[in-house]
Structure formats: C-alpha cells, structure tokens
Structure 1
C-alpha cells in the first residue's frame, strides 16, 4: 500500500506536465519565433503519457514497481529540465544552468532504459 501515494503523486505530476505541454504549444502557435517552445511542449506531452503508462504497467505487475517508479520520476525530472531550460531561454534569454537541456535529454534516455530493464528483470513473488 505504500506505493499508492507515489502512484497518485506521479499521476498528478503527469497531469501538470500535460497541461504545461498544451500551454507551451498554444503559446508557440501564437508567438512568432517560438521555435524552442515546440520541443519543450512535445517533451512534456510525450513524457506525461509515459509517466501514466509506467504507473499503469507497475499497477498491473507487467513491470517491476521499483523500476517503473524510478523511470516515471526520471521522466518527470528530465522533462522539467529539458522543457524548463528551453522555456527559460525563450522567455528570459538565458539557460536554467549550463547543459540543463542535454542533461534532461540524457536522463530521459536513461529513464526509458530503466523502464525496459524493469520489464525484463525477474520480479519477486
């Protein structure tokens, strides 16, 4: 039962990511020269769905719960780094911190690999 609050937190974060992704897409559609906002929007929208999928797979026992939770939290943090950096560059003219977007992208790749291992790794029980 201790996993349930974490799942709920992840679903809430996925909802926020999805909403932010739609907002950034709308801003990009109505502003000229908003090329950085489209990839930021896409990363948030794609990975909000990935968070929901990881939670659903863990709840159904298809993947190890620990691996799925690690991947899902990785998707949240990495998407925030990637999208946050691009969005800050657009609106403020500077980066979140040096290499924030590439760090987020690398963490996204690692999170996908963690999810793959969670599906392949034998589960106890």
Structure 2
C-alpha cells in the first residue's frame, strides 16, 4: 500500500527547500560578503529536486520503499543542517552546533548511498 500522505509531505518539504534556495540566492546576489549563502542555496535547490526524484521513484516502485523514503527524508534533514548552519553563521555569526555543516554533508552522502541501495535491493512482492 502506498502512503500518499508521506509522499505529499515530501513534496511540500521539497517546495519549501526550493523556495528557501531561491531566497538565499537572491540575498547572496544583493548582499556583500555573502559567500556562505550561495553554497547553502545550491544545496537546497539541488536536493529539493533529489527529494522529488526519490519520492517519485519510490511511488512508482522503482526503488525499495523504505530505502527510497529514508533517502528522501535524509536529503531534507541533511540539506537543512548544511544550509541552516551556513545561513545562521552568515546572519548571526555562530553555528547551529559544532560540525553541523559537515554532519549535514555526511548525511547527504549516506542518503545518496541509501538511494542507490534502494534501487539495487529487490522489491518485496
């Protein structure tokens, strides 16, 4: 059985990530000394698309449901950590917590690997 509520939540989160990515890009373009905001923007925009792709692949049954959803939520959490840390550092002068950005980056790598494994792992019928 497909959990359309979970898919809808992921699409909403991807939309928010995309909007935030565009906002950060605009701020970076109009503010001096905003070097941290462009990587934050890129991470959000790129992984918003990855969330949509992982959700669509999961919904269509191309990837294992548990792995596909884990990857999609991993992209959301990890991008939020990475971009949130850079953005907070820019505007407030401090990090979310020590190693927040590297933790987000590591979780992104793990999420990509989870998606690859979800594609390789056979579906249960």
TM class by shorter chain equals over 0.9
> Counterpart in 2 of 1:12?
12
> Counterpart in 2 of 1:53?
53
> Counterpart in 2 of 1:117?
117
1:37 aligned onto 2:37: yes
Unaligned runs of 5+ in 2: none
Between the two proteins, the alignment pairs up a number of residues equal to: 125
The ranges of structure 1 where at least 4 consecutive aligned residues each deviate by more than 3 angstroms after the TM superposition are none
How far apart are the structure 2 equivalents of 1:71 and 1:77? 10
> Counterpart in 2 of 1:90?
90
How far apart are the structure 2 equivalents of 1:49 and 1:123? 24
CA root-mean-square deviation: 0.8
SS for the counterpart of 2:94 is coil
Unaligned runs of 5+ in 1: none
User: 1:40-88 CA deviation, whole Å, 9 max, x = no partner?
Assistant: 0000000000000001101111101111100000000000000000000
Instruction: For residue 3 of structure 1, report the CA deviation from its aligned partner.
Output: 1.4
How far apart are the structure 2 equivalents of 1:2 and 1:67? 14
How far apart are the structure 2 equivalents of 1:30 and 1:116? 38
